Amino acid sequence: MKIGLRIFLGYFVIVALAALLLAQVFVQQVKPGVRQAMEDSLVDTANLLAELATDDFLAGRIADGRFAQRVRALAGRDFGADIWGFDKRAGSYRVYVTDARGIVVFDSAGEATGADYSRWNDVYLTLRGEYGARSTAASADDPDSTVMHVAAPIRDAGGAIVGVLTVAKPNRTLQPFIERSQGVILRWGAVLMGAALLVGLLAAWWLARQLGGLRRYAHAVTAGERASPPRAAGEFGELGDALETMRARLEGKQYVEQYVHALTHEMKGPLAAIRGSAELLEAPLPDADRARFAASIRAQSERLAQMIDKLLALAAVEYRQRIDRPETVDLAALAGEVAAELVESGATPLAQRGVSLQVEADAPAPVAGDRFLLRQALANLVDNALDFAPDGSVVELAAQARGGDVVVEVRDRGPGVPDYALPRVFERFYSLPRPGGGSRSSGLGLCFVAEVATLHGGSPALESRDGGGTLARLVLPAAP
C-alpha cells in the first residue's frame, strides 16, 4: 500500500472517530438539554399557579372557583405564536390539584377528578416537602408518549403543606425543536467531515507527491541516471538539497577513482611504446630505424594528448546533470558548419584519401540544448565515419526533423561494425582497429556522443548498413 493511501486512511479513521464521537455527544445532549429547559420552565409555572390557586383551595372552591375558571378558559385561547418557524395556536398544559391525601380535587382536562395520585412521585414527594417530578408514558406501547409532571406545594397560613398543584406537559411538543436541532447538527457535521476529508486527501496527496519525487530521485541516482532533485517546499526541499549534495560528493569521489583507474590502464600501452622506442633510440641505429622509432614516439604522444583532451571533455559532460541554459540550435545548419570546418581544416581522410563529405540538411531541424556540445558530438560522429571510410568513398551527413524528434545520421561504406562489438561501441575506451593497419582511437568519441545525447534527452545508435558500411544515428527531441 502506498504511503499516500496509508496517510489518507489513517486520517480518515481519525476524522471518522472524531465525527462519530462529536455526533454522539451533541445528539445525545440535545434531547436532555431541551427537556431540562422545559422542566425549569415547568417548575416556575407550577409554583406560580400554586400561589394563584391557594386562596380557592383553602376556601374549598378549587374545583369551581375563579382559578378553575381561568385555567379552563385557557383551552379556548388562540396563542398565535411563531416560535422559530413553528406555529403555536393552543396550550398543551394540563393542571391538576390534589389534597393532603393525594386525591385529585381539580383536573383541567377533567379526566382524573377523585383519583388517588398519592403514589405518583410528583404528589408523593411534594407532600413530604421534597421536589416532586416525574415523566410517565401515556401509552405503554409508545415510548415517545411521555409526559413530564412537575409539582409545587400549596401551603396554609401556617406554612403547612395542605395540597399539591402539578403542571403536566407532553414531551412530544418539544420533538420538532429536537429534530430540527439534531438535523442542523448532523448536516453541519457532515459538511465539516467532508471538508476535513478533502483537506486530508489534499494533504495526503501533497505528502505522497513530495515523498514520491524524492523516492524517484533516489532510484534514479542509484541507477546512475541523470536526475535533478524534485521541487519541494519546507523540510522536503531541504531533504532534496541534502540528497543532491550527498550525491554530488559521493559521485565526485567515485568518478575520480574510476577515471584514475581507466586512465592509468589506457595510458600503459602508449607509454610502453614510447619507453621501448626511447630505449632503442639510445643505441646506435640506422637513420631509417631512428626515424621510424621517433615517429612512433610522436604518434603515441599525440595519442596520449588526444586521449587526455577527449577524457577531459567527456568528464565535463558526464558530470553535468542538466543543461542550465538551453538554447534553440538548428542541427541542420550546425551539420553544415561542421562539414565546412572539416573540409577547410584539410582532415587527413578528406585530403589524402579522397574521401568526400556530403551534407543532406535542407529543412530546419531545431533542438533545445548546448550548441558547443552538440557541435562536438556531430564532429565525433563524422570523424569516426571518416576513419573507417574507404579511399574515394562518400560519407553522408544528414539532419532532419521526423515527427517530434530531430534525427542526425552519419553513413559510411566502411567495413561495418562486427556483431560482437555493437553492444559495446558506446563504452568508454572501447575501440576497433582502423582499416589498413591504422592504430586504434582513444575509444572516447562515441562515449562522448552517448553522454551528450543522454544529457539532451535523446539516444544514440550504431548499426551496419545494407550493402556494407555503418550507420550512426543520433535522435534528439525537437524544440517546440
**175-196 pLDDT tens trace:** 777 677 777 777 877 787 788 7
pLDDT above 60: residue 166: yes
pLDDT above 50: residue 35: yes
**How does pLDDT run across 363-416, given as a tens digit for each residue?**
888 888 888 778 888 888 888 888 888 888 888 888 888 888 989 899 988 888
Residue 372 vs residue 109, higher pLDDT: 109
Residue 19 vs residue 69, higher pLDDT: 69
Measuring CA to CA, which residue among 384, 471, 386, 463 is closest to residue 418?
Answer: 463
Average pLDDT in the chain: 78
User: Which pLDDT does position 370 carry in this prediction?
Assistant: 81
**How does pLDDT run across 428-476, given as a tens digit for each residue?**
767 776 665 555 566 677 877 888 888 788 888 888 888 788 888 889 9
Q: What gap in Å lies between CA 231 and CA 226, rounded to an integer?
A: 16
pLDDT above 60: residue 301: yes
**How does pLDDT run across 339-364, given as a tens digit for each residue?**
887 776 655 566 677 788 888 888 88
pLDDT above 80: residue 147: yes
User: Which pLDDT does position 251 carry in this prediction?
Assistant: 53
pLDDT above 90: residue 119: yes
Q: Which class is 226-322 in CATH? A: mainly alpha
pLDDT above 80: residue 331: yes
User: Which pLDDT does position 318 carry in this prediction?
Assistant: 54
Lowest mean pLDDT of 38-47, 78-87, 103-112, 242-251, name the range: 242-251
Which grid cell is 333? Answer: 545548419
Residue 303 vs residue 101, higher pLDDT: 101
The whole-number average pLDDT for the span 214-220 is: 72
Burial class (CB in 10 A: 0-12, 13-18, 19+), 46: buried
User: Which pLDDT does position 155 carry in this prediction?
Assistant: 94
Grid cell 643505441 is found at 283
Q: How many CB atoms lie within 10 A of CB 241?
A: 12
The whole-number average pLDDT for the span 267-296 is: 73
Residue 402 vs residue 225, higher pLDDT: 402
Predicted confidence band of residue 60 (pLDDT cuts 50, 70, 90) = very high
Residue 125 vs residue 244, higher pLDDT: 125
**Domain 3-181, CATH 3.40.440.10 — does that match?**
no
Predicted confidence band of residue 210 (pLDDT cuts 50, 70, 90) = confident
pLDDT above 90: residue 139: no
CATH superfamily of this structure's domain 325-480:
Histidine kinase-like ATPase, C-terminal domain (3.30.565.10)
The whole-number average pLDDT for the span 257-276 is: 60
Residue 279 vs residue 479, higher pLDDT: 479
User: Which pLDDT does position 320 carry in this prediction?
Assistant: 57
Domain ranges of the chain: 3-181, 226-322, 325-480
Residue 387 near residue 439 (C-beta atoms within 8 A):
no
Q: What gap in Å lies between CA 152 and CA 168, rounded to an integer?
A: 12
Rounded CA Rg of the chain: 51
pLDDT above 80: residue 100: yes
pLDDT above 70: residue 256: no
Q: Which residues of 459-472 are buried (b: 16+ CB within 10 A; e: fewer)?
A: ebbbebeeeebbbb
Model confidence, pTM: 0.43
User: Which pLDDT does position 255 carry in this prediction?
Assistant: 46
3-181 and 226-322 share one CATH topology? Answer: no
